[in-house]
Structure 1
Amino acid sequence: MKILSMRFKSNKSPEELEQLSEEGFSKFRALKGLIEKYYIKNEETGEVGGIYLWENEKDLMEYIEGPIVKSLPERFGLEKPPSLEILDVTYTLNS
């Protein structure tokens, strides 16, 4: 399993961000290999984004290189690219 942490600053209002997130639910539910997504917000830095749990690296990389991530700057009004961090899951509490 892989974890993707994505963070960015948006020029959208909290209400606009919530609407954009809700509009994307069906797209994320249909993504191959995506196990879970957590929508995140850091009040101190103003960053928003997501924590994603993926079944494998192939599906994660297809997401990063695909249309959803490429559309972020325009949809969310980003001034700079999102911060991406990819982490390996070594074991879980259920292991």
Structure 2
Amino acid sequence: MRPIKLAFLCSAASLLLFACTGNNKSNSTETHQKEIIEKTQNFPAGTVMLIVRGKTKLSEEAFLKIAKEREPQFEATPGLIQKYYIKTNTQGEYGGVYIWDSIESLKKFKESELAATIGDAYQLIEAPSTEVIEIMFELRP
């Protein structure tokens, strides 16, 4: 992974990648999706981290079962270097930390059917928070 000059953070309010309602996208969601494209136009090439957190009424066991069922689809996603499944300290909040080879791969994923089904698959009860972070360098290559 090559060093990158600038760390870039987008707030969850301005960077909504996934709709809780799956394919029932609202104008607000479409506006947010357009904003990410605009905000990342000048994003330097390099490795990017996406952190997604969402609340669900699913139990941890149910969440893990769904995650395991969807695992092959994520493994086959172009440009996805790694995905970590996470549980936060907030009751019912789970998420994913995605490591992408480039912002272009992240943008393509955002437009995919797999991304569009995240909210429905995990029965999210509100829009997830998202954060995109440019990785400057890694400790252990």
Instruction: Give the TM-score normalised by structure 1.
Output: 0.90
Count matched residues.
95
Contact between 2:58 and 2:92, CA under 8 Å: does it hold in 1? Answer: no
Please give the alpha-carbon distance, in whole angstroms, between the structure 1 residues aligned to 2:125 and 2:113. 18
Aligned residue for 1:24, secondary structure, equals: helix
Aligned residue for 2:137, secondary structure, equals: coil
Contact between 2:57 and 2:92, CA under 8 Å: does it hold in 1? Answer: no
Long gaps (5+) in structure 2:
1-46
Please give the alpha-carbon distance, in whole angstroms, between the structure 2 residues aligned to 1:2 and 1:33. 10
Q: State percent identity of aligned pairs.
A: 31
Quote the residue 1:44 is aligned against.
90
Long gaps (5+) in structure 1:
none
Quote the residue 1:75 is aligned against.
121
1:13-49 deviations in Å (ceiling 9; x for gaps):
2111111010011111101001111100013353101
The residue correspondences of 1:11-50 to structure 2 (distance < 5 A) are 11-50=57-96
Instruction: Give the TM-score normalised by structure 2.
Output: 0.62
Please give the alpha-carbon distance, in whole angstroms, between the structure 1 residues aligned to 2:90 and 2:117. 26
Please give the alpha-carbon distance, in whole angstroms, between the structure 2 residues aligned to 1:46 and 1:79. 10
- The two structures, once aligned, show a CA RMSD in angstroms of 1.5
2:93 matched to 1:93? Answer: no
Deviates further, 4-13 or 36-45: 36-45
Aligned residue for 2:95, secondary structure, equals: strand
- Larger proportion of strand: 1
Aligned residue for 2:51, secondary structure, equals: strand
Quote the residue 2:56 is aligned against.
10
